[in-house]
Amino acid sequence: MILCYYAVITTYKYLEKKPMGYFINPVNFDDKENINKISGLEFAHDSIVEGKEQIVKLICSQYKNGLLIVDGYMTADIESFARSIYAFASADRIIDVKSLFRSKEEIDALIADCLPEDRETDPRLIYGKLYPGEIEDFLDKTKIDEFLISANSDQKIILFGNGSLINKFTDVAEAKVFIDMTPKDTGLRINNSRYINIGNEEECDFEVMTRRAYFIDVELITKIRRHAVKNKLIDYYILENYKEHFIYINQTAFQQILERTSSQPIRPKPLYIEGVWGGQFIKKLRHIPDDVVEKVSWAFEFIPTEASVAFEIDSHYLDVPFLTIMDAVGEKLVGKELYSRFNGYFPIRFNYDDTWHSDGNMSIQCHPNDEMARRIHGDYGGQSEAYYVVTTGHNARTYLGFKAGTDSREFLHLCRQSESTGDLVPYQKYINGLKSKPGLQVFIPAGTVHGSGRNQVVLELGTLTINAYTYKIYDYSRIDSDGRPRPIHSKLAEEALVFDRDENWVKENVAIDPVLYDEQQDFKEYIVGRHDLMYFETHKINLNTGGTYQGENDNGFCVLTIVDGEKAEIRSKKDRGDNYLAKYLDVVLVPAAIKDYEVKNQGKQPLVLHKAFVRKK
């Protein structure tokens, strides 16, 4: 998901096998212009330490005897770090927690229901069901008991690996180390085949590995990290990036940093994804070089499960996974009521879909509703979306709903035939195409057929899902980057689609005319998106040159995006010490802890803000 720094660029090449999950296919580009600065905090000299050797020395200087645990996020260099401690501390024993796991056959049986082999429904086996259990399920209780009996408190014993932070070990441990990584850096390592699934003994087929990682491993590790962070179990929190650079932050400093995060505007770090229909607008705007990527399809501005946040503190640059921040101070970020309502997750995601100057549309697609997503995928809820058109080229269209008077099931039938024949389908005969223009806001409740057309950039919002479920219905018989036809999910789409949502329904329900909400000397605020089937609402604010928008968070947080104009300062009205100077298309979170905030137009022309928030029940 998913924070910019000073622009370290490494050439990124597409793999011959295109990974099916977003988090394992990032463009290798660090956009370092959007750093969140934190000032006024005072730490001891060893509160933040950089470099693996220096951190190991610090830990060993404080570690006397007993059990020391080293756990971490997917692809973190846990074993190497643990063995460095073992050597430097002259420890007595070192144990890989995998030696305490159940057999591979037992673990495979545990997860079998989450990885069904139904190629009629899911031809490329992309989807699955989120694993509902905990990493403790993978461990052998008898082996755990035998290990704990043998663990002499007078000895130095190192236990390392995913699963070391379960309660049975932390209850008796003298020190706990956790090595965290951002989803992007994890993805870069997975692309370099630097990962073996939890419970597997060796590498497996790339697509099998990534599917299992997405539906099993991520669930296991985020749950154990959440438990450790929420309960302040970690003595040594360490950030690692894909270049094997390590930064340690002690528990007091870490908590202070995250507490400050909850009381100032936050700009998450963009993550870029290439795709067959990708455009050029975001690539040019963000100065992504041609030798890094040819085109950008998605800019993940703030997808909570994929995002990170970059901080500058003194001379240190910290890139912290957003989910880790949510685990620590989530209630202050979203508000107590929303934190409980959405089970500790952030409830809205934000990304740009870029088809500007591309050679094609996004696929015609739909998404599951709450019941379907829970039953088939084990997720929190269904996937509803919204598009806000930011900019367009000639003949841009936004496809939404079926055309009135057409046979929507006939369209699905033709798409199914096309899967085997490769014939093109006259989709414009069946799918309603709205003429796109900047400022057009459409809501897309789960089950509504839709797709962004060629030659535009849309700000896409989505409801909370842990994973992503896009059921492609028609994709213009395109070949994917791996040389195979792009995967189609017409059987899942048939179950998800609401066939009677046609252009009349769209006009009356989800493509509404702006409604004036508030008018002041400096600004006019309009409701541009609201529907009972979706829990968030969107507003557009036209802000005069030099003007200030006065906003309030009366139901948790809000997220602001500059969709037209140059720049604006976003700040708390109460505490103006830490603010954020947002630029064109920056997406900024105003946490719930900031009840009243201001947006000061700092550009030389009027500015348009897009505002999103969760409606009151």
Closest to 5 in 3D by CA, of 427, 312, 214, 249: 312
Is residue 12 over pLDDT 50?
A: no
- Three-class HEC string of 437-453: CCCCEEEECCCCCEEEC
Predicted confidence band of residue 578 (pLDDT cuts 50, 70, 90): confident
Domain that holds residue 210: 52-244
Its sign, for the CA torsion 195, 197, 200, 203, is negative
List CB contacts of 61: < 8 A, sequence separation 6 or more: none
Please report whether residue 214 resides in a domain.
Answer: yes
Strands (E), 425-554: 431-435, 441-444, 450-452, 456-463, 471-474, 515-519, 523-529, 536-543, 548-552
How far apart (Å, rounded) are the C-alpha atoms in residues 18 and 483? 9
**357-415 confidence digits (pLDDT tens):** 999 999 999 999 999 999 999 999 999 999 999 999 999 999 999 999 999 999 999 99
The last residue of one of the domains, among 215, 244, 273, is 244
- The mean per-residue pLDDT over the stretch 592-603 comes to 96
Closest to 391 in 3D by CA, of 491, 479, 285, 295: 285
Confidence at residue 576, expressed as pLDDT on a 0 to 100 scale: 65
List CB contacts of 548: < 8 A, sequence separation 6 or more: 522, 523, 598, 599, 600, 601
Confidence at residue 24, expressed as pLDDT on a 0 to 100 scale: 55
Confidence at residue 2, expressed as pLDDT on a 0 to 100 scale: 31
Confidence at residue 1, expressed as pLDDT on a 0 to 100 scale: 29
Q: 588, 261 in Cβ contact below 8 A? A: no
Show the CA angle centred on residue 374, arms to residues 321 and 187, nearest 5°.
Answer: 30
Beta bridge partners of residue 104, listed in sequence order: none
- The mean per-residue pLDDT over the stretch 301-307 comes to 96
The last residue of one of the domains, among 190, 218, 244, is 244
Please report whether residue 345 resides in a domain.
Answer: no
Confidence at residue 481, expressed as pLDDT on a 0 to 100 scale: 75
The pLDDT mean for the chain works out to: 93
CATH number of the domain where residue 540 is located: 2.60.120.10
The last residue of one of the domains, among 244, 262, 285, is 244
Q: How many H-runs (helices) and E-runs (strands) does the chain carry?
A: 17, 31
Please report whether residue 10 resides in a domain.
Answer: no
Q: Which of 16-25, 68-77, 164-173 shows the lowest per-residue confidence on average (mean pLDDT)?
A: 16-25
Please report whether residue 75 resides in a domain.
Answer: yes
**269-286 confidence digits (pLDDT tens):** 999 999 999 999 999 999
Is residue 13 over pLDDT 60?
A: no
Please report whether residue 37 resides in a domain.
Answer: no
**310-362 confidence digits (pLDDT tens):** 999 888 999 999 999 999 999 999 999 999 999 999 999 999 999 999 999 99
Confidence at residue 194, expressed as pLDDT on a 0 to 100 scale: 80
**448-496 confidence digits (pLDDT tens):** 999 999 999 999 999 999 889 999 999 999 988 778 888 999 999 999 9
Beta bridge partners of residue 485, listed in sequence order: 479
- Other beta carbons less than 10 A from residue 231's beta carbon: 11
First to last CA, the chain: 28
Q: 553, 597 in Cβ contact below 8 A? A: yes
What is the count of structural domains for the chain? 2
Is residue 536 over pLDDT 70?
A: yes
Confidence at residue 389, expressed as pLDDT on a 0 to 100 scale: 98
For 255, left (φ over 0), alpha (ψ -120 to 50), or beta?
Answer: alpha
How far apart (Å, rounded) are the C-alpha atoms in residues 382 and 468? 10
Is residue 6 over pLDDT 60?
A: no
Please report whether residue 438 resides in a domain.
Answer: no
Please report whether residue 505 resides in a domain.
Answer: no
Residue whose tokens read 């100077």: 581
Please report whether residue 421 resides in a domain.
Answer: no
Percent residues over pLDDT 70 in the chain? 96
For 425, phi then psi, to 5°, come to: -110, 135
Is residue 77 over pLDDT 90?
A: yes
Is residue 192 over pLDDT 70?
A: yes
Confidence at residue 483, expressed as pLDDT on a 0 to 100 scale: 83
How far apart, in Å, are the Cα atoms of 364 and each of 89, 420, 446? 59, 17, 14
Q: 152, 240 in Cβ contact below 8 A? A: no
Look up the pTM and report it. 0.94
Confidence at residue 44, expressed as pLDDT on a 0 to 100 scale: 77
**212-239 confidence digits (pLDDT tens):** 999 999 999 999 999 999 999 999 999 9
How far apart (Å, rounded) are the C-alpha atoms in residues 390 and 242? 33
Six-digit token pair at 199? 């419970």
Confidence at residue 480, expressed as pLDDT on a 0 to 100 scale: 80
Angle between helices 78-88 and 52-62 (to 10 degrees): 50
Percent residues over pLDDT 90 in the chain? 87
Residue whose tokens read 């956790």: 178
Strands (E), 322-411: 348-354, 364-366, 385-392, 397-402
How far apart (Å, rounded) are the C-alpha atoms in residues 134 and 137? 6
- Other beta carbons less than 10 A from residue 193's beta carbon: 11
List CB contacts of 109: < 8 A, sequence separation 6 or more: none
**26-66 confidence digits (pLDDT tens):** 999 988 888 998 888 888 778 999 999 999 999 999 999 99
Is residue 297 over pLDDT 90?
A: yes
Confidence at residue 314, expressed as pLDDT on a 0 to 100 scale: 83
Confidence at residue 3, expressed as pLDDT on a 0 to 100 scale: 31
**120-146 confidence digits (pLDDT tens):** 999 999 999 999 999 999 999 999 999
CATH number of the domain where residue 132 is located: 3.40.50
- The mean per-residue pLDDT over the stretch 70-93 comes to 97
**193-211 confidence digits (pLDDT tens):** 789 999 998 888 989 999 9
